[in-house]
C-alpha cells in the first residue's frame, strides 16, 4: 500500500499515466480495429452520453426518470427532419436539438416539482411510452413519416480534420463518427463535471440527500430541479442526434427511442456507478461489450455456454443483462466504479490536502 499526497508530484505522475493510457486506447481503436469494432465503440459513446445525462437527474439529484428515451428520440428526430426536409448542415442540428429538448425537459419537470419517488417514476414512464405513440400518430405523419420512420439521413461532405486527413468511404465514415462521438463525449463529461463540482452541483446533491434540509439551507428547489431536468434532456438529445448521424436512420421503434432505451441508460448508470462522473463511462463500455458477446450465445455455442443456453434458439442476452444487474446490486451497490475505488484503495491511498492550507498566507 502506498500513500500519495494530493497534488504532490507522485499524484500528478499517476494522473498523467492514467490519462496517457486512456489516450492510447482512444487512438488505438480507430486506427487498428475493424470497422464493426469501431462502430461498437461509437455506439458505446452514444450510450455513455445518454447515461451521463440521466446521471445528472437520477444519480446526483435523486429524481427517478425512465423517460430519457423520449429526449433521445427528440434529438434523433430533430436531426433527421432538419437535415432531410430542410437541408440543414448536420453540425447545427446539435444546437437545435439541445434547445428543443431543454424546453421539453423543463416542461416535463413541472409536475416533478410537486411529485416524488414512485409518482415521478410513473410520469416519466408515461413520457417514455407516449413518445413513440405520438411519433406514429397519423396526424403527425407529415413531420415524422409515421411508423416507418426517417431513413437515409445523409451528410455529403465529411469535414477534413487536421490530423485525421481525408476520410473516405464507409470505413472513413465510421472513423469520422467515432471521433465525433468521442469529442461530444468529452464535452458532455466536462459539462457534467463542471455542473457537479459547482455551487449548482452541490445543491443537486443536497436535494438528493435531504430535500427539506436543502430548501432550509436556501436551495431554490423549483429552479434547480427544472434546470437540471432541462440540462439533462438537452444532453440526452445530443446523444440522439449523434445516433441518427451515425446510423442514418431513426424509427419510432428504434433501439433507444422506446422505453427499452430508458432502461438501458438506467442499467448503464447503475452498473457503472450512479452519482459518479466515471460511472456511465465504465458502465457503457461494459454494457456494449456484454451485449455484443452474449448476443451470439445460443444453440450453436459449445462448452459451458452451450450447456447453459444451448436449449433455446433465442439469445439469452437480455436475461444475462438482468442477472448482471441483480448481481451488481448485491455485490457492488455503488457500481463498478465504487468497486474499483474500493480495490484501488488497497493499493494506493491519495491523502487529501488538509483544508485551508492552499490559502495564501497573509503577512504578519
Partner 1 sequence: MERLLQYVFDGLSLGSIYALLALGLVVVFRGTGHLNFAQGEMAMICTFFTWQFHAWGLPLVVSVLLGMVAGFVLGAGVEVSLIRRVAKKSEAGVFVVSIAMFLGFNSLAGMIWGNLPPEEMPSLFPDEPDDFVKIFGAVWRYEYIGIMIVALLLMGLLFLLFAKTKFGLAMRAVASNPESARLVGIPTGVVLAASWGIAAAMGALSGAMVGGLAGELTSLLMFTPFIYASASATLGGFDSPGGAVIAGLLIGVGEQLAAGYAPGWIGQELRLGVALVTIFVVLLFKPSGLFGSTKVERV
Residues in contact with partner 1 by the rule CB under 8 A:
64, 110-111, 114-116, 118-119, 121-123, 125-126, 129-130, 133-134, 136-139, 212, 263, 266-267, 270, 274, 309, 312-314, 316-319, 321-323, 325-326, 329-330, 333
Cell of 303: 462448452
Closest contact distance (angstroms) between CB of 133 and partner 1 is 5
Closest contact distance (angstroms) between CB of 333 and partner 1 is 5
Nearer to partner 1 (CB atom), residue 30 or residue 275: 275
For residue 123, which of 264, 249, 246, 229 has the smallest C-alpha distance?
Answer: 229
Nearer to partner 1 (CB atom), residue 237 or residue 274: 274
Nearer to partner 1 (CB atom), residue 99 or residue 129: 129
Closest contact distance (angstroms) between CB of 331 and partner 1 is 11
Q: In whole angstroms, what is the distance from residue 220 CA to residue 203 CA?
A: 9
Q: In whole angstroms, what is the distance from residue 318 CA to residue 264 CA?
A: 11
Closest contact distance (angstroms) between CB of 46 and partner 1 is 20
Nearer to partner 1 (CB atom), residue 70 or residue 245: 70
Nearer to partner 1 (CB atom), residue 23 or residue 327: 327
Count CB atoms within 10 A of the CB of residue 257.
27
Nearer to partner 1 (CB atom), residue 5 or residue 314: 314
HSE on the CB side for 141, CA within 13 Å?
6
Closest contact distance (angstroms) between CB of 273 and partner 1 is 13
Closest contact distance (angstroms) between CB of 178 and partner 1 is 29
Nearer to partner 1 (CB atom), residue 188 or residue 251: 251
Nearer to partner 1 (CB atom), residue 86 or residue 114: 114
Closest contact distance (angstroms) between CB of 226 and partner 1 is 14
Closest contact distance (angstroms) between CB of 326 and partner 1 is 5
Crossing angle of helices 221-247 and 169-196, in 10° steps, is 170
Amino acid at each position: 500500500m502506498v500513500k500519495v499526497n494530493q497534488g504532490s508530484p507522485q499524484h500528478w505522475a499517476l494522473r498523467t499515466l492514467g490519462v496517457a493510457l486512456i489516450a492510447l486506447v482512444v487512438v488505438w481503436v480507430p486506427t487498428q480495429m475493424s470497422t464493426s469494432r469501431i462502430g461498437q465503440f461509437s455506439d458505446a459513446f452514444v450510450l455513455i452520453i445518454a447515461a451521463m445525462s440521466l446521471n445528472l437527474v437520477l444519480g446526483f439529484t435523486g429524481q427517478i426518470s425512465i423517460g430519457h428515451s423520449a429526449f433521445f428520440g427528440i434529438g434523433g428526430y430533430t436531426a433527421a427532419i432538419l437535415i432531410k426536409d430542410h437541408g440543414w448542415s448536420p453540425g447545427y442540428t446539435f444546437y437545435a436539438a439541445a434547445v428543443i429538448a431543454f424546453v421539453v425537459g423543463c416542461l416535463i419537470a413541472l409536475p416533478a416539482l410537486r411529485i416524488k419517488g414512485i409518482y415521478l417514476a410513473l410520469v416519466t414512464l408515461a413520457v417514455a411510452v407516449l413518445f413513440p405513440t405520438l411519433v406514429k400518430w397519423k396526424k403527425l405523419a407529415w413531420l415524422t413519416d409515421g411508423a416507418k420512420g426517417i431513413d437515409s439521413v445523409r451528410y455529403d461532405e465529411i469535414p477534413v480534420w487536421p490530423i485525421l486527413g481525408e476520410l473516405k468511404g464507409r470505413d472513413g465514415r465510421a472513423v469520422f463518427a467515432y471521433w465525433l462521438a468521442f469529442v461530444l463525449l468529452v464535452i458532455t463529461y466536462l459539462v457534467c463535471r463542471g455542473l457537479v463540482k459547482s455551487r449548482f452541483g452541490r445543491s443537486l446533491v443536497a436535494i438528493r440527500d435531504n430535500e427539506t434540509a436543502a430548501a432550509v439551507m436556501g436551495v431554490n428547489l423549483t429552479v434547480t430541479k427544472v434546470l437540471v431536468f432541462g440540462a439533462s434532456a438537452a444532453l440526452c438529445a445530443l446523444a440522439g442526434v449523434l445516433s441518427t448521424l451515425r446510423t442514418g436512420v431513426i424509427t419510432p421503434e428504434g433501439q433507444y427511442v422506446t422505453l427499452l432505451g430508458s432502461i438501458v441508460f438506467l442499467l448503464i448508470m447503475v452498473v457503472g456507478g450512479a452519482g459518479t462522473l466515471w460511472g456511465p463511462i465504465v458502465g457503457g463500455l461494459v454494457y456494449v461489450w456484454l451485449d455484443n458477446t452474449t448476443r451470439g450465445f445460443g444453440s450453436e455455442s459449445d462448452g459451458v455456454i452451450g450447456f447453459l443456453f444451448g436449449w433455446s434458439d433465442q439469445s439469452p442476452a437480455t436475461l444475462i443483462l438482468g442477472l448482471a444487474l441483480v448481481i451488481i446490486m448485491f455485490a457492488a451497490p455503488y457500481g463498478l466504479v465504487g468497486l474499483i475505488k474500493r480495490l484501488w484503495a488497497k493499493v494506493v491511498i491519495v491523502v487529501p490536502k488538509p483544508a485551508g492550507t492552499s490559502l495564501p498566507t497573509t503577512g504578519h
